[in-house]
Amino acid sequence: MSADVRRILDKLDSLFARKEYAEAERLLRYWEAEGERSGDDKVYYLSVNEQMGLYRKLGRKDDALSAVWKMQRYLDRTGRRMTLEGATALLNAGTVYKAFEMSEEGLPFFEEAAFVYEELLPPDDRRLAGLYNNMSSALSDVGRLDEALELCEKALAILGKTGGNEAEEAITYLNMTAMYEKRDGMEKAESDIERCLTKAWEKLGAAAAGTEEGYLAFVYDKCAPTFGYYGWFMARNELQKQAEEIYERLGAVKNEDREDAENSDEGA
């Protein structure tokens, strides 16, 4: 990692922690121009890749799609589309389209990223699980529920094999509840939904011991509404209570827009 890239990442982390998004945008725009001017591909890639995520987070559709276009142009110009670097950028591009209710348009990006990841990564790499979870959500949006559920199962297999991913496993199980309901209807899907809720609750219990507290509180907040939706009110209330206790203990403000680690951008 070059000194410039490390410096940019450190500064971005600081700005995002303080939610200084306008300053983060100025930083990324500056380094995009500087990377293009100097021919520093690593700096340019980082700047545009981070812009995709920033504009998605801020709901700025036109700017986010512009960043996707710039990234595609960069990948084609440098011949890096079929590399891990390129696949990660394509995955991020897919999440941009998903975020703006354009899942149909986003699926080709996920599919291309999946082809590269499956060719170049070990079969138990967590990055595959993150891709599968993101792609499954887009497939669910367009009604391809069997494929979506299959990818969730593949993600769970990877997460379970590598260990220490109980929070991400819980989120995946909860995402599956909505897919079963959408595919089969509430009554027919009841047993599958209950199974997923039970597994998610077990995973959240296991996650408490080995997960960083701030992230754990975020996960509890993310998962609580799904339990409530399906009538698990005690579970919902307990998760909300524990999340608030953690935030109070850390002296932190609830962070609504924290990313879901490396796993999935979609809420449970």
Closest CA to 170 of 135, 138, 131, 196: 196
Average model confidence (pLDDT) for the chain? 93
CA angle 4, 256, 177 (to 5 degrees): 115
The predicted-structure confidence for 231-247, as pLDDT tens digits, reads as follows 999 999 999 999 999 99
* Domain presence at residue 30: yes
* Domain presence at residue 39: yes
* Domain presence at residue 241: no
CATH code: domain of residue 26? 1.25.40.10
* Domain presence at residue 219: no
Phi, psi values for residue 38, rounded to 5°: -90, -10
pLDDT band at 6 (very low <50, low <70, confident <90, very high): confident
* Domain presence at residue 135: no
The confidence score (pLDDT) of residue 252 equals: 57
Q: What sign results for the dihedral spanned by CA atoms 108, 151, 185, 138? A: negative
* Domain presence at residue 3: yes
The confidence score (pLDDT) of residue 259 equals: 45
* Domain presence at residue 208: no
How many domains would you assign to the chain? 1
The predicted-structure confidence for 153-167, as pLDDT tens digits, reads as follows 999 999 999 889 999
Q: Which domain holds residue 60?
A: 1-120
* Domain presence at residue 80: yes
